[in-house]
Chains A and B, each alone.
Chain A
């Protein structure tokens, strides 16, 4: 079991590294950095717009030096040998034509230079391995710190909604598979099909408009996690308050994820009920509930583990959208804000975090497999 898990982990690391590197390099290669937009432009907002040109340049250089952005990007760089030629009208008029021609094609020879470890990528990679993901451009706070702050809300939202959805999907499928469940099946499956085609942000907004609005029904608080919290709350009180604020986002996520999961669980359970062992169980006189819960369910769970672990990206996406709409201070809202303000260190950090989460989910799925199926445990030992 454990060597097998270790192998999967080791195989996942190159993908993680490739993705993070690609995002990092892309984010740094593109023109128009945060600093040049903020500090150098004349109509830039804020303090620096009033300074002279030299002041701005000095502030810009200082900023680049402080954040390490003045270093070369990668270990290796390829650039035109003599720099780019000046624009054509600025060429000295007295130079002879041959020299002129020679100079004008010099830019085609590349020159390769080696920078050693004094480059942005190396420093970022070393920092990331030490758990330091740099500082946010926007707030100048360490990315790791703000990620740690935000991850709690997202994690609980994700976990609780997943457990709720899964339990609901299981129970609904069990009810539907029974002989008496025919009417439920007729009503529920079309309803789920329709719910599935409502985009998540529309669903969230509809709930927001109709359930948290003085014009219709004011059942839930609208935004965020509450602004004023008295200091001395017991753990229990705090949980209740949090649950109150989390209720609507949670409902939204459950509604959003339920159709797919129920469908898959139902299909899987249906297949298990057709199997020979289910017929045997019925033949030896077990009740319907005992056949479903005692015999079919465990076998139906196996494909469901894969389905749930494959479903995690959609789950994360849904959580992010819901977080942004209900203004829950979590990773998703941070991501959208970082995208809108082009805060690349935060973006890279979030990408790394999500990719790592996915790998953990894969490993957990493997463990769950071994738990659900004794045959796999036997094989891998």
Chain B
């Protein structure tokens, strides 16, 4: 952690391009935070029907003029572009953080335990399988049905309670039974590595963009649902990276030493392996954030999965389809989008350079 901060400080001091990219990102973040207090003449969804498709920089200038022009409904491009920063950062960053955490958890567990590292008694396995089935029926399916049929919250709570109580009952019964039955006491290995690998493989059979499109078509357009879908499809990259890195770290002498002094799995993963993972994950995070920005604006450009009153760069760009002469609708938001992605990619590139150099040394 300290080492990584030091690396970044050196990079900041020595590399002009990295400094430029990083300060551009900080500036954008500052702008996004300060936006409510900026004196903008228009809000992004405000219609000005007197000025449709107004070209940018048209004179005379005043406080009320649209500096960057307007779209087909008279919405101010400047306000939309600035508020688009807010949307881009406040949605993409949490989504990327969640996806990275999920990927890290799954990838690290898969890489650490492998196919044979984690074993469970048959008893526990039975409870686990039964518990999953029970939770998906009583915890998800039935409450949804009850909610659709407009039943009281008490019934939903009863159903959920049932979903938890049944596996607990089973576990108690099996605990008593296992004293007699040898079969239940034997332990079996859980092929965690295989499970995670097969899952990522199945998900990468079709392009992620198509997968997200298909899943988004099943749900009503809403930002939380779309974010959930993106998190559930985006974790595979980090998982693959974390798995590979952990398998590498597992072979290092210091890790063997840590294992030999008897640390438990949690300490090994969290205190010993995780700090070493931080660098590569940070590189993947900044790069992934750039591609996520592109993905999100593509989705809002096609108006898929997002409500149409969500301010975003993609929405502003989409309004050019009614009038291809209005170049400013694609030029300004597109330029800002490109610059942001470029800055993220640049940061990722230099971070990668400094980290891989150290790993090689």
- Separation of A350 and B210 alpha carbons in the complex (Å): 9
For chain B, the count of residues having a C-beta within 8 Å of the partner chain is 57
Do A313 and B208 form a contact, CB below 8 Å, given A194-B342, A202-B317, A205-B330? Answer: yes
- Distance in angstroms between the alpha carbons of A347 and B218 in the assembled complex: 11
A19: interface (CB < 8 Å): yes
- A107 touching B155 in the complex, CB below 8 Å, given contacts A16-B205, A202-B337, A335-B210: yes
> Quick check: is A342 within 8 A (CB to CB) of the other chain?
yes
B-binding residues in A (CB < 8 A) = 15-16, 18-19, 23, 26-27, 30-31, 78, 80, 84-85, 87-88, 104-105, 107-108, 110, 193-194, 196-202, 205-206, 208-210, 212-216, 222, 313-314, 316-317, 320-321, 324, 335-336, 338-340, 342, 344, 347, 350-351, 354-355, 358-359
| Residue in A closest to B219 when the chains form the complex, CB atoms | A30
Q: Are B213 and A339 in contact (CB under 8 A)?
A: yes
| CB of B146 closer than 8 Å to a CB of A | yes
25 pairs, A vs B, C-beta closer than 8 Å: A27-B218, A30-B218, A30-B219, A31-B148, A85-B151, A87-B149, A108-B142, A193-B346, A197-B345, A198-B341, A199-B293, A201-B297, A201-B317, A205-B317, A206-B330, A209-B324, A213-B324, A215-B325, A313-B204, A313-B206, A324-B302, A339-B304, A340-B303, A354-B207, A355-B206
In the bound complex, what is the Cα–Cα distance between A317 and B209 (angstroms)? Answer: 6
Contact of B290 among A110, A197, A313, A358 (CB under 8 A): A197
Query: B337: which A residues are within 8 A, CB to CB?
Result: 199, 202
Residues of B within 8 A of A316 (CB): 207, 210
Q: How many pairs of residues, A versus B, come closer than 8 Å at their CB atoms?
A: 145
Tell whether A355 pairs with B205 under 8 Å between CB atoms, given A84-B151, A206-B330: yes
Most chain B beta-carbon contacts within 10 A, residue among A18, A31, A338, A344: A18
Residue of B at shortest CB range from A104? B155
Closest to A314 in B: B207
Contact A209 B341 (CB under 8 A): no
B303 contacts which chain A residues (CB < 8 A)? 340
B217 within 8 Å of A by Cβ? yes
Chain B, range 104-152, C-beta contacts under 8 Å to A: 137-138, 141-142, 145-146, 148-152
CB nearest neighbor in B for A340: B304
Given contacts A85-B151, A199-B298, A205-B320, contact A26 B205 (CB under 8 A): no
Q: Which residue of B lies closest to A213 (CB)?
A: B324
* B341 & A197 in contact (Cβ 8 Å cutoff): yes
Give the interface of B toward A (CB within 8 A).
137-138, 141-142, 145-146, 148-152, 155, 158-159, 162, 198, 201-202, 204-210, 213-219, 290, 293-294, 297-298, 301-304, 314, 317, 320, 324-325, 327, 330-331, 334, 337-338, 341-342, 345-346, 349
Determine the distance from Cα of A201 to Cα of B149 in the docked complex, in whole angstroms.
43
Give B166's nearest chain A residue, CB to CB. Answer: A108
Please pick, from A30, A108, A313, the residue contacting B158 in the complex, using a CB distance under 8 A: A108
Which residues of chain B are near A313, meaning CB under 8 Å? 204, 206-208
Q: Which residue from B141, B159, B204, B208 sits with its C-beta under 8 Å from A108?
A: B159
Chain A residue at minimal CB-CB distance from B138: A108
B202 touches A15 (CB 8 A): yes
User: Which of B138, B149, B214 interacts with A339 by CB under 8 Å?
Assistant: B214
| CA distance in complex: A222, B323 (Å) | 12
The answer to whether A15 and B298 touch across the interface, beta carbons within 8 angstroms, is no
A358 surroundings in chain B (CB, below 8 A): 205-206
Q: Are A15 and B201 in contact (CB under 8 A)?
A: yes
Measured CB to CB, the nearest residue on chain A to B202 is A15
Chain B residues lying within 8 Å of A201, measured Cβ to Cβ, are 297-298, 301, 314, 317
Known contacts A15-B202, A197-B290, A336-B304, A84 near B149 by CB under 8 Å = yes
Cα–Cα, bound, A110→B145 (Å): 13
CB distance from B306 to the nearest CB of A (A): 13
Q: 6 closest A-B pairs (Cβ-Cβ)?
A: A313-B207, A199-B294, A197-B342, A202-B334, A197-B341, A339-B217
For chain A, what secondary structure do more than half of its interface residues adopt (helix, strand, loop), or is it mixed? helix
Q: Which of B205, B207, B216 has the most CB of A within 10 A?
A: B205
Instruction: Output the least CB separation between B303 and chain A (Å).
Output: 8
Contact A317 B210 (CB under 8 A): yes
Contact residue among B151, B218, B219, B298 (Cβ-Cβ distance under 8 Å from A88): B151
A316 to B303, CA, bound (A): 20
Inter-chain CA distance A104–B152, complex, in Å, is 11
Q: Chain B residues with Cβ under 8 A from A30's Cβ?
A: 218-219
CB distance from A101 to the nearest CB of B (A): 12
Query: Are A200 and B298 touching (Cβ within 8 A)?
Result: yes
B273 to chain A, nearest CB (A): 27
- Least Cβ distance of A135 to chain B in Å? 18
Q: Which residues of A contact B207 (CB under 8 A)?
A: 313-314, 316-317, 354
CB-contact partner of A199 in B142, B204, B214, B341, under 8 A: B341
In the bound complex, how far is the Cα of B218 from the Cα of A342, in angstroms? Answer: 8
Q: Which residues on A sit within 8 Å (CB–CB) of B155?
A: 85, 104, 107
Contacts of A216 in B (CB 8 A): 327
* Contact assessment for B298 and A342 in the assembled complex, using a CB-CB cutoff below 8 Å: no
User: How many Å lie between the Cα of A205 and that of B319 in the bound state?
Assistant: 11
Q: Pick from A85, A196, A202 the residue with the most CB of B within 10 Å.
A: A202
CA distance A305 to B270 in the complex (A): 37
Besides A85-B151, A196-B345, A317-B208, 19 new A-B residue pairs in contact (Cβ under 8 A), listed by A number: A15-B201, A23-B214, A27-B218, A78-B137, A85-B155, A110-B137, A199-B293, A201-B314, A201-B317, A205-B320, A209-B327, A209-B330, A215-B325, A313-B207, A317-B207, A320-B209, A321-B298, A336-B304, A351-B206
- Bound together, the chains give a CA A260 to CA B348 distance in angstroms of 15
The residue from A19, A104, A194, A321 contacting B206, defined by CB atoms under 8 A apart = A19
A286 to chain B, nearest CB (A): 31
CB atoms of B206 and A320 under 8 A apart: no
Residues of B contacting A205 in the complex (Cβ-Cβ under 8 angstroms): 317, 320, 330, 334
**Cα distance A23–B207 in the bound complex, in angstroms:** 14
- Are B202 and A18 within 8 A (Cβ)? yes
Which of A30, A198, A344 has the most B CB atoms < 10 Å from its CB? Answer: A198
Complex CA gap A74/B155 in Å reads: 27
Cβ contacts under 8 Å, B201 to chain A: 15
Provide the residues of chain A in CB contact with B218, threshold 8 Å: 26-27, 30
